[in-house]
Amino acid sequence: MVRRVVVLGAGYGGLNSALQLERQLSQSKDRNWEIILVDRCNYHQHVIMIHEIAANSTAPEEAVIPLAYLLNGKRITFMQGDVKDVDLGGQQVAFDSQRIDYDRLVVALGSETSYFGIPGAEQNTLGLKSVDDARRINAHIKRTFLIARNSSRKDRASLLTFVVCGGGYSGVELTGELADWLPELALANDIDPSEVRLVVVEAAPTILMGYPAGLPGKASELLVKKGVELQVGSPVAEIGEGMVKIRSGETIAAHTILWTGGVQGPAALAQWGLQTGAKGRAVVNGYLESVSHPGVYVIGDCSLVVNPNTGRPAAPSAQMALQQAPHVAENLEAELVGGQRETFRPAGTGEVFSMGRRHAYAVLGRISFDGYAARLLKEAIALRYYLNLGGPALVMEKMPGALRTTAGGARLLLQRRGLQTKG
Ligand SMILES: Cc1cc2nc3c(=O)[nH]c(=O)nc-3n(C[C@H](O)[C@H](O)[C@H](O)COP(=O)(O)OP(=O)(O)OC[C@H]3O[C@@H](n4cnc5c(N)ncnc54)[C@H](O)[C@@H]3O)c2cc1C
């Protein structure tokens, strides 16, 4: 009898678990399996670079890969649809007008934006979770400058004020890019760049709270040097049309309010009956299987994984989803064609934060460095991902510019090192 694995979500976790499982199962003699991948989009998104799209330094096409291209020749059926319901008892998934049965389910639907119940936050801000969101922000900012160039200096004050709510990594990466782009846009629209105000509002006492020691301070220093105003220890009380009210009482008038405040597991997980924990993420056991529903694996931002090395929930990230994907594939293979399931142990691979077009911070275990070398490392990580997914052809098609920059930059750095050594 054919056993069907349904994978929900074609993001980092879902796509890569489906691809890996297909590779493994294709090598077994057993042909009684099928894999169905479901996503609302018919393309895979390279989410870790969308802040660059928002701030005009990367074209949206670079971060979007058609699933037809990635699944070509693979024994994976793609079905496009918005997953609305999962009947965990009846082992059925419902999306759009279809219902499909499953024997094993992988839930990899990513996360939802968390607004912490702040009045007006959802209605009056632009979020950054997908390539479409990034496009929207990019178009909004360009439009805002066009309006500003034809407005009086008084009206321009709020038009040229940009507030980023949330100083976690996505907020900081976005701010770094905007700090490079907004002054250029001002000049292109005959506006004095000093009229532009870019503010980060963060409730915690520092940006990048909880990240390795030294990083928050260095990142703050760099942003301030780029002209960014940091309002830390400043929880947002309310957001209205064109205004952000801080709990201290101060109100910032701003035409552009961007929300990077935080993420939580999709509300649907609990509605379907999966046991959820902190931030609405599904609680999983060591095999990455729902503790309430055996046979349902949950990975990526959806899952609440406790890092056995620290005893604390692992932070959701693309690199975590990419570690979980092959692991779930191994465990599914063990279940489907025989073998022993293994316990997942997250490996610490470090963090690289981009801080604009030419700067980044890298923390790799005990080693940390910043500047252009770290920025090149960030580019190289993106390139390596495409290389693993679709080989050199995909890199050449999607990222020829990044490839040239990385190769050229690496050569430059090596030359500089050589000169210093000789000197
Ligand atoms: C600006 C920004 C920068 C980031 N930078 C980094 C970084 O440098 N390093 C890092 O490790 N992480 C980074 N992250 C975090 C990282 O992108 C996420 O942790 C990662 O995308 C999670 O992977 P995932 O597979 O769980 O979900 P996703 O990649 O979000 O994929 C979820 C998929 O599910 C689909 N989907 C969702 N709901 C439905 C539904 N109801 N029906 C059908 N399909 C659905 C979506 O279309 C999507 O394809 C960044 C995030 C942002 C926003």
For the chain, give every domain's residue range: 3-111+265-349, 121-262, 352-422
Check if 296 has its Cβ closer than 6 Å to any atom of ligand 1.
Answer: no
Give 384-418 pLDDT, tens digit per residue. Answer: 999 999 998 898 888 777 676 676 666 666 665 55
Exposed / middle / buried, residue 212 (Cβ in 10 Å: 0-12, 13-18, 19+): middle
CA gap 23, 27 in Å, rounded: 7
- 46 CA to centre of ligand 1 in angstroms: 8
Positive or negative: CA dihedral 116, 120, 123, 126: negative
CA gap 254, 161 in Å, rounded: 5
Query: Which residue minimizes the CA distance to atom 46 of ligand 1?
Result: 9
What phi and psi, each to the nearest 5 degrees, are found at residue 43? -140, 160
Look up the pTM and report it. 0.94
CA gap 59, 70 in Å, rounded: 20
Residue 370 has what pLDDT?
87
Q: What is the DSSP string of 272-299?
A: HT--B-GGGPEEB-TTSBBSSSTTEEE-
Query: Which residue minimizes the CA distance to atom 30 of ligand 1?
Result: 110
Query: Which residue minimizes the CA distance to atom 50 of ligand 1?
Result: 48
CA gap 350, 317 in Å, rounded: 11
- Please check whether residue 107 is in contact with residue 299, taking contact to mean a CB–CB distance below 8 angstroms: yes
Position in ligand 1 atom list of the atom nearest CA 128: 53
- Average pLDDT over the chain reads 92
Structure tokens at 290: 């729902």
Residue 267 has what pLDDT?
97
Check if 170 has its Cβ closer than 6 Å to any atom of ligand 1.
Answer: yes
- Phi-psi category of residue 282: left, alpha or beta, with phi > 0 → left and psi -120 to 50 → alpha: beta
Check if 381 has its Cβ closer than 6 Å to any atom of ligand 1.
Answer: no
Exposed / middle / buried, residue 80 (Cβ in 10 Å: 0-12, 13-18, 19+): middle
Query: Which residue minimizes the CA distance to atom 41 of ligand 1?
Result: 83
Query: Which residue minimizes the CA distance to atom 3 of ligand 1?
Result: 48
Query: Which residue minimizes the CA distance to atom 38 of ligand 1?
Result: 109
Residue 417 has what pLDDT?
56
Check if 129 has its Cβ closer than 6 Å to any atom of ligand 1.
Answer: yes
Sequence-separated (6 or more) residues with CB below 8 Å from residue 384? none
Exposed / middle / buried, residue 81 (Cβ in 10 Å: 0-12, 13-18, 19+): middle
Query: Which residue minimizes the CA distance to atom 1 of ligand 1?
Result: 170
- Please check whether residue 26 is in contact with residue 67, taking contact to mean a CB–CB distance below 8 angstroms: no
Please name the amino acid found at residue 406.
T
**Sites in the chain below the pLDDT cut of 70:** 402, 404-405, 407-423
Check if 48 has its Cβ closer than 6 Å to any atom of ligand 1.
Answer: yes
C-alpha to C-alpha distances, 211 to 42, 48, 167, 219, 375, nearest whole angstrom? 34, 17, 12, 11, 18
Check if 167 has its Cβ closer than 6 Å to any atom of ligand 1.
Answer: no
Structure tokens at 196: 């532009």
Let me know if the fold of 3-111+265-349 is the same as that of 121-262.
yes
Sequence-separated (6 or more) residues with CB below 8 Å from residue 206? 167, 216, 217, 220, 232
Sequence-separated (6 or more) residues with CB below 8 Å from residue 21? 5, 35, 328, 329, 332, 333
- How many residues are there in the chain? 423
C-alpha to C-alpha distances, 21 to 33, 128, 184, 289, nearest whole angstrom? 11, 30, 46, 16
Mutational pocket test of ligand 1: of 48, 131, 378, the residue with most ligand atoms within 8 Å of the beta carbon: 48
- Phi-psi category of residue 100: left, alpha or beta, with phi > 0 → left and psi -120 to 50 → alpha: beta
Which residue, chain included where needed, has tokens 């699944």? 71
CA gap 220, 230 in Å, rounded: 8
Check if 39 has its Cβ closer than 6 Å to any atom of ligand 1.
Answer: yes
Exposed / middle / buried, residue 327 (Cβ in 10 Å: 0-12, 13-18, 19+): buried
- Please check whether residue 44 is in contact with residue 62, taking contact to mean a CB–CB distance below 8 angstroms: no
Q: Topology of domain 3-111+265-349, per CATH?
A: FAD/NAD(P)-binding domain (3.50.50)
C-alpha to C-alpha distances, 142 to 14, 165, 171, 186, nearest whole angstrom? 34, 20, 19, 10
Exposed / middle / buried, residue 34 (Cβ in 10 Å: 0-12, 13-18, 19+): middle
CA gap 111, 301 in Å, rounded: 5
Residue 369 has what pLDDT?
87
Residue 415 has what pLDDT?
66
Distance of CA 167 to the CA centre of its chain: 15
**What CATH architecture applies to the domain 121-262?**
3-Layer(bba) Sandwich (3.50)
Sequence-separated (6 or more) residues with CB below 8 Å from residue 308? 345
Alpha helices in 284-371 (DSSP H): 318-337
